[in-house]
Amino acid sequence: MDGVGDLPFPERGNQTPLEAAKTPHLDKLTAKGMMGTVYTVKQGIAPESDAGVFSLLSYDPAKLDLSRGVVEALGSGMEFKNGDLALRCNFATVQGGQITDRRAGRNVSTDEARELVETVNGDSQLKALASFELKATIGHRCALVFHSGRNHFSGAVSNLDPAYSRKGNVTIALSGVMLPALVPRCVPLNKSKAARDTAHLLNQFANQVYEVLKDYPINVKRNERGDLPANFLLMRDAGTKTPKVRKLKEKFGFRSVAVADMPVELGIAKVIGMDAEVFPPDRSLQGYSKRAEKALQLATKYDLVYVHLKGPDEPGHDGDFDGKKKSIEDIDAGFFAGLVEVEGKLLCVTADHSTPCIAKGHSDDPVPILVTGLNVKPDGSMRFTEAYGKKGKLGTIQHGHEILKKLKRLAS
Ligand SMILES: [Zn+2]
């Protein structure tokens, strides 16, 4: 459950969304299992989803040549070869030289995004900078690929995004970023010419995108109806290589499949050799129950089924406690209701990181983990919450990348 971990929320009696939510099905599963907590990457790191998910799937992000940009480009089916430059982007709002919303109000429609992207792709001044392709993925999100050719690109450049900073190979979320924030400049992170040139290109690109979009009809209309203009492109997590990894099948000997809707999870599946079952990004009760059905069907053919449920993360980013609680309840009524009577399978429930409502962003707080089913002996946990996680028999797992090994042991 993406970003489901949280912290006590003062205006709701210091409960967390998991504590406040009614989750009868997950409670039943928990009463039969054991709990613990896990630092998905490691203590002190507030991971982005890509690092969190790689880690849950047994890959230590510190040892990967990791770029969210590359992973998203692969996950959205874009053409990318080593040497190209890929970035993850957001349509954002710039007003008075400052970023006032990182997601342009989080209400950019698919049609709007498609048209804005076409406009950017068709602009002759942008084309003169480099050969590139921008692709709208979901909502305000896009992926961007610059094709090499005469250019030598480097992934060692800072993020053009105030909310995420790069620490080695891993991008970390800066919690409590206050908006408005100045539009950051992209700077090279080493002394190479390629890094300098890449940073220069991205700064020029960002400026020109703003010139193209600021008075574009869609944005005039958005202004008129009181929506924030989508007039800027935040760019982050540049990369020039597909991470080289031992595939999951080689590592564990099992066939695996991901059930997901976001390009990042689909990209990760591609990199580590998992099959993928793509769902439309719908977060309705029906959507969740269809996923449960599909997961059970796949579990007859595969040894490992990874299901990524994006729901709880977004309200966490918005500081929307009630929205996050509702999302957890929908997942319980849709997804876990379908799994509660299943026998002969091992089920593990956890998160890729915490997204505490009070932080409005990812944090380094450990997340609860539940293992239930097969021969797992109950440890007295009653509910899937942060507090039960801290008391559970699984203890504190220091690195998410250890989980799969433990699960394999429990399942055999
Ligand atoms: Zn996430």
User: 323 C-alpha to center of ligand 1: Å?
Assistant: 16
Measured in angstroms, how far is the CA atom of residue 197 from the centroid of ligand 1?
A: 31
Read off the tokens for 100: 């006032």
Q: How far is the CA of 69 from the centre of ligand 1 (A)?
A: 15
Residue 348 has φ and ψ, to the nearest 5°, of -120, 130
Instruction: Please tell me the distance between residue 248's alpha carbon and the centre of ligand 1 in angstroms.
Output: 21
d(CA 13, CA 250) in angstroms, rounded, equals 48
User: d(Cα 71, Cα 94) in Å, to the nearest integer?
Assistant: 27
Ligand 1 mean position, distance from CA 208 (Å) = 30
For residue 282, what pLDDT is reported?
A: 87
Dist. CA 57 → ligand 1 center (Å): 14
**Least trusted range by pLDDT, from 62-71, 194-203, 215-224, 249-258:** 62-71
pLDDT at position 149: 82
- The helix (H) or strand (E) run that includes residue 317 is helix 313-317
pLDDT tens, residue by residue, 58-84:
999 989 988 899 999 999 999 999 999
For residue 71, the model assigns a pLDDT of 95
* pLDDT at residue 390, rounded to an integer: 98
Segment 6-18 mean pLDDT: 97
Instruction: Say how many Å lie between the CA of residue 346 and the centre of ligand 1.
Output: 23
Which amino acid, 116? L
Ligand 1 center from residue 49 Cα (angstroms): 4
Write out the DSSP string of 323-346. HHHHHHHHHHHHTGGGTTT--S-E
From ligand 1's centre to the CA of 48, what distance in Å?
6
CA of 51 to the centre of ligand 1 (A): 9
pLDDT given for residue 380 in this prediction: 97
Alpha helices in 157-243 (DSSP H): 193-213, 217-224
What one-character-per-residue DSSP string does 42-62 give?
-TT--B-HHHHHHHHTT--GG
| Dist. CA 223 → ligand 1 center (Å) | 30
pLDDT of residue 168: 66
* Cα(363) to centroid(ligand 1), Å: 11
Ligand 1 centroid – CA 39 distance (Å): 13
User: What is the chain's alpha carbon radius of gyration, rounded to the nearest angstrom?
Assistant: 21
How far is the C-alpha of 74 from the C-alpha of 143, rounded, in Å? 9
- C-alpha to C-alpha distance for 198 and 51, rounded to whole angstroms: 24
Whole-number pLDDT of residue 169: 61
Q: Residue 264 C-alpha to ligand 1 middle, in angstroms?
A: 10
Average pLDDT over residues 203-223: 97
For residue 305, report the distance from its CA to the centre of ligand 1, in Å.
18
What H or E segment, with its residue span, contains residue 134?
Answer: strand 132-136
Grouping H, G, I as helix, E, B as strand and the rest as coil, residue 197 is helix
Please return the burial class of 225, using the count of CB atoms within 10 Å of its CB with bins 0-12, 13-18 and 19+.
Answer: exposed
As a whole number, the mean pLDDT across the chain is 95
Q: What percentage of the chain carries pLDDT values higher than 90?
A: 90
Does 111 score more than 70 pLDDT? yes
The predicted model gives 350-358 an average pLDDT of 97
Distance 193 CA to ligand 1 centre (A): 34
Structure confidence at residue 409 as a pLDDT band (50, 70, 90): very high
User: What pLDDT digit, counting tens, does each position of 255-310 carry?
Assistant: 999 999 999 999 999 999 999 999 988 889 999 999 999 999 999 999 999 999 99
User: Residue 53's pLDDT band (boundaries 50, 70, 90)?
Assistant: very high
Sort residue 271 into left (φ over 0), alpha (ψ -120 to 50) or beta. Answer: alpha
DSSP one-letter string for 246-281:
--HHHHH---EEEEE-SHHHHHHHHHHT-EEEE---
**How many alpha carbons fall within 13 Å on the CB side of residue 14?**
1
The pLDDT > 70 percentage for the chain reads 98
Average pLDDT over residues 308-324: 96
Alpha-carbon distance 324 to 407, whole Å? 28
pLDDT the model gives residue 36: 98
Structure confidence by residue, pLDDT tens digits, 83-105: 999 999 999 999 999 999 999 99
Distance 225 CA to ligand 1 centre (A): 31
Q: Using CA atoms, how far apart are residues 18 and 4, in angstroms rounded to an integer?
A: 8
Ligand 1 ion local residues (Cβ < 5 A): 2-3, 49, 313, 352
Residue 278 Cα, ligand 1 centroid: separation in angstroms? 17
* DSSP code for 311: T
